[in-house]
């Protein structure tokens, strides 16, 4: 359990209407830590991420970002909190009618009073940071899948956030491009002290970048395991956790005997 917490999820229940995906879950993410959210298909990984970043409100519980509740903040308070982090989405979520540079410039135009020349300077700086220097005039349709993801990351970095959220960053990428993206995520943490939360099911990425993981279980609507992924693979008392991380064929946690514990 990290002593210096950037994110605290406190007894949170999430879902849609009468459908509950996760119930009464708690965990925290330390400052400068890379945390991966894992679980089988349909367990609520991406939905949980959307709650953490304030797009959805939980049915119960609270979520603190640097000690401030994003759940109970008013509209202005929420905007202030959201300005402190950057988010990348599965497909890059670039506006197809705008150039790469125009996409990256959007947060700067929205949240700063920078001159056009200053915005152009920052945009090129962020594109170089993700190895896309010189690609500002390209349209998203002219980029490969990996380049779109990096362009989306450049936009997420525009305001120099100390918190970064990734939703399935390696989805649809070939192994080499995925490994390059993993190295970039590690570089952001190591060079800038960023706190990073990643929703993923890519085991290679998990074992490469994650300091800790939280594993969601669809059957029990709870967190079934939390900790360092290699330690969980080797030492977890739960057979399904070891199976998931070792990719050896069990389909769901309800095929095994396990004890669910509240984790923080």
- CATH code at position 4: 3.40.50.300
Examine the pLDDT at 200 and tell me if it is beyond 60: yes
Q: Check residues 251 and 51 and name the one with the higher pLDDT.
A: 51
Look at residues 109, 143, 161 and tell me which one is the last residue of a structural domain.
Answer: 161
Shared domain check, 213 and 150: no
Question: How many domains are there within the chain?
Answer: 2
Shared domain check, 217 and 108: no
pLDDT category at 151 given cuts 50, 70, 90 is very high
Which residue intervals of 193-259 are DSSP H helices? 203-209, 229-235, 239-246
Q: Is residue 8 part of a domain?
A: yes
What the block records as the tokens of 8 is: 């605290």
Look at residues 144, 161, 178 and tell me which one is the last residue of a structural domain.
Answer: 161
Examine the pLDDT at 153 and tell me if it is beyond 80: yes
pLDDT the model gives residue 213: 97
Question: Distance between CA atoms of 27 and 192, rounded to whole angstroms?
Answer: 24
pLDDT the model gives residue 1: 56
- The DSSP 8-state label assigned to residue 60 in this structure reads E
Shared domain check, 65 and 190: yes
pLDDT category at 218 given cuts 50, 70, 90 is very high
Examine the pLDDT at 258 and tell me if it is beyond 60: no
Examine the pLDDT at 232 and tell me if it is beyond 50: yes
pLDDT the model gives residue 2: 61
pLDDT the model gives residue 257: 40
Shared domain check, 197 and 136: no
Examine the pLDDT at 89 and tell me if it is beyond 90: no
Report how far Cα 181 is from the mean position of its chain's Cα atoms. Answer: 13
Shared domain check, 127 and 73: no
Q: In what order do the strands lie in the sheet with 34-39?
A: 85-88, 163-167, 195-199, 34-39, 212-217, 222-227
* pLDDT tens-digit series, residues 27-65: 999 999 999 999 988 889 999 999 999 999 999 999 999
Average pLDDT value for residue range 84-99 = 87
Average pLDDT value for residue range 221-240 = 95
Quote the domain boundaries for residue 126.
94-161
Neighbouring residues of 46: CB distance < 8 A, sequence distance ≥ 6: 167, 168, 199
The rounded percent of the chain whose pLDDT value lies above 70 is 92
Closest CA to 148 of 181, 193, 115, 121: 181
pLDDT the model gives residue 263: 43
Which residue intervals of 210-251 are DSSP H helices? 229-235, 239-246
Closest CA to 219 of 200, 203, 240, 235: 240
Q: Is residue 124 part of a domain?
A: yes
Shared domain check, 129 and 106: yes
pLDDT category at 3 given cuts 50, 70, 90 is low
Question: Distance between CA atoms of 187 and 173, rounded to whole angstroms?
Answer: 19
Shared domain check, 205 and 195: yes
Q: Is residue 89 part of a domain?
A: no
């Amino acid at each position: 359990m990290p002593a210096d917490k950037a994110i605290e999820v406190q007894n949170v229940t999430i879902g849609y209407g009468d459908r509950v995906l996760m119930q009464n879950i708690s965990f925290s993410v330390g400052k400068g830590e890379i945390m991966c959210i894992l679980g089988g298909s349909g367990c609520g990984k991406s939905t949980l991420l959307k709650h953490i970043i304030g797009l959805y409100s939980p049915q119960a519980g609270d979520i603190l970002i640097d000690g401030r509740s994003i759940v109970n903040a008013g509209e202005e308070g929420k905007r202030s909190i959201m300005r402190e982090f950057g988010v990348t989405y599965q497909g890059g979520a670039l506006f197809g009618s705008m150039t790469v540079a125009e996409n990256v410039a959007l947060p700067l135009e929205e949240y700063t009073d920078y001159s056009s020349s200053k915005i152009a300077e920052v945009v090129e700086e962020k594109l170089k940071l993700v190895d896309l220097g010189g690609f500002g005039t390209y349209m998203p349709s002219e980029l490969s899948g990996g380049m779109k993801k990096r362009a989306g990351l450049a936009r997420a970095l525009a305001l120099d956030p100390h918190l970064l959220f990734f939703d399935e960053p390696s989805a649809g990428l070939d192994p080499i491009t995925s490994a390059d993206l993993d190295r970039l995520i590690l570089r952001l943490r190591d060079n800038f002290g960023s706190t990073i939360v990643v929703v993923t099911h890519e085991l290679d990425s998990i074992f490469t970048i994650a300091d800790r993981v939280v594993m969601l279980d669809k059957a029990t609507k709870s967190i079934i395991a939390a900790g360092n992924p290699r330690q969980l693979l080797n030492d977890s008392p739960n057979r399904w956790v070891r199976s998931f991380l070792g990719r050896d064929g069990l389909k769901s946690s309800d095929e095994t005997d396990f004890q669910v514990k509240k984790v923080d």
